Chain A
C-alpha cells in the first residue's frame, strides 16, 4: 500500500470516528448540561411553575403544561416513583434513557385509578424481587423522569399544582 492511500485511509477512518462520536455524545452532553445548569439533584423531583420565556433549561417547553422533572441515577439501586393524576385533564409520566429516548409512557387514560406507583431499576431480577409491584427496567443507569399535567383551565391551576406535588421519588436501597 503506498503512502498516499495509507494517509487517505487514516484520514477517512478518523473522520468516521469523529462523526459518530459527536452524534453519540450530543444527546448525553445536552442532558449533562441541563442537569449541571439547573443545579438539581438526581432522584429528586423538581416541580415547575407555569412555563414562560424565562424557562431556558429545556428546549421547546410547552407553556400549557405543569411539569415534574428529575434526572435519575440507578447505580445505587432501584427507585420508587409514585404520584397522582388529575381527573379532568391530560397527564402522563414518561421515562427517557440517557440518549433522550422515550422508552416508557403512561397517561391518565391508562391509569383509571388516577394513581401510579412503579419501581424503576437496571436489574431484570428485580421483577421477581418486587413481584407485587410494577417494575420497569431502564435501558441505561441514568436518564430522566418527566411528568406532564395539562392546564386545561386557568382556574384549575391550584388544584393541578396539588396533583403535581404528589409526585415523589424514593431510593429503595437507602
Chain B
C-alpha cells in the first residue's frame, strides 16, 4: 500500500472518530441518563473519572460537579408534557420543599450560563422562595416581569432548569426516581 494512501486513511479515520466523539459529548440529549423522574434527569456522577465519556460531558456541561454524597443535580430541558423549554413561552413550576439541607432551582441558557435579566434573578432556593399557605411553592418563569416568584427566562430561546439538593435525606437517594419533584407546566405560548 502506498504511504500517501495510508496517511490519507489515518487522517480520515482520525477525523471520523473525533467528529463522533465531539457530537457524543456535545449533543447530549439525555436519552442515556441514569436517573429519571418526570422531566428531571441526572447522571450517576460517581462514575466521573472512570467513565471517560461522562467525564468529558460533565466537563462541558456541569464543570466542577460534586460527588453524589454531597449533592444531587437534576436537569430539565423539557416541560412535564415533554416539550422543549423555550423563553418564548411562560411556565409555572409547582412543588413542595425538597428534603435536603439546601435546595435550589436555577435557570440557565442554552450555553449553560446564567441568563441576563433586569431583576438579576437567576434562581430560587429554600431560603428566598415565597411559599403558599400549604407550604408548597409556585415559581413563574417568563421573559416578562411577574409579581410572584419571578424567574426571568430572558429572550435567548432554549433554556435549562437545574435542581441542586445538598445533603439530601437518605430516602431521597433511595427513591430519587419516585420522590415528588416540582412539575413544569407551560401556561402561555
Q: Which residues of A contact B (CB under 8 A)?
A: 3, 6-7, 10-24, 26-27, 30-31, 34, 51-56, 58-64, 90, 92, 94, 96-97, 99-103, 105, 107, 109, 144, 146, 150, 152-153
The distance in angstroms between the C-alpha atoms of A28 and B113, with both chains bound, is 20
Instruction: State in angstroms the CA–CA spacing of A60 and B164 once bound together.
Output: 11
Q: Is the CB of B67 within 8 A of A102?
A: yes
A41 CA / B16 CA spacing, docked (Å): 37
B6 close to A10 (CB less than 8 A): yes
Instruction: Please give the residue numbers on chain B whose beta carbons come within 8 Å of chain A beta carbons, in ascending order.
Output: 1, 5-6, 9-22, 24-25, 45, 48-49, 52-53, 55-56, 58-67, 69-70, 101-102, 104, 106, 108, 111-117, 120, 122-123, 125, 127, 162, 164, 166-167
Q: Do B25 and A61 touch (CB < 8 A)?
A: no
Instruction: Return the contact of B102 from the options A16, A34, A146, A150 (Cβ within 8 A).
Output: A150
A18-B15, A19-B17, A58-B63 known; A64-B125 Cβ under 8 A:
yes
Given contacts A6-B1, A10-B13, contact A59 B123 (CB under 8 A): no
Q: Is the CB of B16 within 8 A of A100?
A: no
Within 8 Å CB of A55, what residues of B? Answer: 113-114
A sample of 15 cross-chain residue pairs with beta-carbon separation below 8 angstroms, ordered by A number, consists of A10-B9, A10-B13, A13-B13, A16-B17, A19-B18, A21-B17, A22-B21, A26-B60, A27-B59, A53-B122, A55-B114, A90-B167, A94-B66, A102-B67, A105-B66
Interface pair A52/B18, CB less than 8 Å apart: no
Q: A22-B25, A60-B63, A64-B123 are in contact. Are A53 and B114 (CB under 8 A)?
A: yes
CB of A61 to closest CB in B, whole Å: 7
Tell me which of B12, B17, B55, B69 has the highest count of chain A C-beta atoms within 10 A of its own C-beta.
Answer: B17
Q: Is the CB of A18 within 8 A of B104?
A: no
Knowing A14-B12, A103-B49, A153-B127 touch, does A52 contact B70 (C-beta < 8 A)? no
CB of A166 to closest CB in B, whole Å: 21
Docked complex Cα distance between A122 and B158 (Å): 43
A26-B56, A53-B122 in contact; A100/B63 too (CB < 8 A)? yes
Residues on A with C-beta less than 8 A from B162 are 60
Q: A21-B18, A60-B106, A96-B64 are in contact. List 11 more A-B contacts (CB 8 A).
A: A10-B10, A12-B13, A17-B17, A18-B21, A19-B17, A60-B62, A60-B63, A61-B113, A62-B106, A63-B122, A100-B63
